Amino acid sequence: MTTSYPSREALRERAAAALTAARARTAGLTDAVSDADLTAQHSPLMSPLVWDLAHIGNQEELWLLRNVAGRASMRPEINPLYDAFEHPRAERPKLPLLGPEEARRYAAEVRGRVFDLLERTPMEGSALLDDGFAFGMIAQHEQQHDETMLITHQLRQGAPVLTAPDPDAPYDPPRAAEVLVPGGPFTMGTSAEPWSLDNERPAHVRDVGPFWIDTVPVTNAGYLAFIADGGYREPRWWAAPGWQQIREHCIEAPLFWHREAGQWLRRRFGVTEPVPEDEPVLHVSWYEADAYARWAGRRLPTEAEWEKAARFDPATGRSARYPWGDADPTPALANLGQRHLRPARAGSYPAGASPLGVRQLIGDVWEWTASDFLPYPGFRAFPYREYSEVFFGPEHKVLRGGSFAVDPVACRGTFRNWDLPVRRQIFSGFRTARDV
């Protein structure tokens, strides 16, 4: 399927709306805390929030004002400070970063010039301009950093500063715990989605054998059973590096959980609360997901299996953009866009199910897969190697589906996320599968 827009003006409106929504979210995440919180490093795993704020503006300037418009750098002296590959996160607090107000002014000045550019850009004529790709890429980039900043908020100590209503999604408990996905070929990836990123391309045929997959993500209740059965004390469930990790760091539960007076509690954006048993489990590493699956007599789905379960319609033989079809996400279909600060309970969003009946494949929690992050056949790095290519290999595992922290502009049935298998601070969960 090719996604197209009725006019260049409609495309400009979509780009402007995506950029505006991203900036509003950025403002909400950075205005909610003090300047001291903005400049502090809340975890060596994350940048100071003020670094993300200026980096967002710097990347926007780089790709839209310098690469698309051909203009000179506005502030060449700061460009090395905000190069994510030049300075590891742990070192960024030591850099002479822009202060909070200066970072805001810089990002706002860049955005003003970008909107002037957007009004007269032809939206065609080069790979960066066709279908407004560069503008869509920057909107996605800002939303991805907004998710990163939300992770920093979760790691931050202190009183709550973010609020959102709890999910009130349609709920219909699934009648079956797992769904059979038929074997055979399907189209994986995309060559037609205008704002898809290089690692999602090109579309290609994969032949996947039949398998069973969980109807919904693994819940806290399910994971509590693993803990109660001694899952963290039994080495046979763990890959060797995972067993070493939990022993060295004395890990006995998902990140942000602790046990008090015989009850498991969790800290969520500054609020301590009982672990809700009917929600998908959150903040687990790949090693924890893999160990649970082994304990349950199952396994993690491969990336190809996950995408087939999410996109393939056996009635038509085609792959849709999303589990529910080709329409863009809505609040009735998936938990996206930081509308809530938690996953919806497992069994929510029945209208968002795939044709086979698999639920909550988009939104709520990122789902670990069994697969290493590798290029598709025919992959071509675009517009720069550092977005995907430098991360390919067995060091990184693929996550799919997005979380409640992901904006719809940066989430689709082909979207690929990746991270190190030890990572737990991300909004990660999983579901399991088994062979037929």
Q: How do residues 377-396 score in pLDDT, each as one tens digit?
A: 999 999 999 999 999 999 99
Burial class from Cβ neighbours inside 10 Å (0-12, 13-18, 19+) for residue 56 reads buried
Contact at 8 Å (CB) between 199 and 416? yes
Residues of the chain with pLDDT under 50: 1-2
Cα–Cα distance list, 310 to 31, 213, 236 (Å): 37, 11, 31
Cα–Cα distance list, 164 to 28, 172, 340, 341 (Å): 12, 23, 5, 6
Contact at 8 Å (CB) between 359 and 186? no
403: Cβ contacts below 8 Å, ≥ 6 apart: 147, 343, 363, 364, 365, 366, 427, 428
CA 128 to CA 112: how far, in whole Å? 20
Please tell me whether the peptide bond between 122 and the residue prior to it is cis, using omega within 30 degrees of 0: no
Residue type at position 73? S
The pLDDT value given to residue 5: 62
CA 366 to CA 283: how far, in whole Å? 10
* pTM across the whole model: 0.96
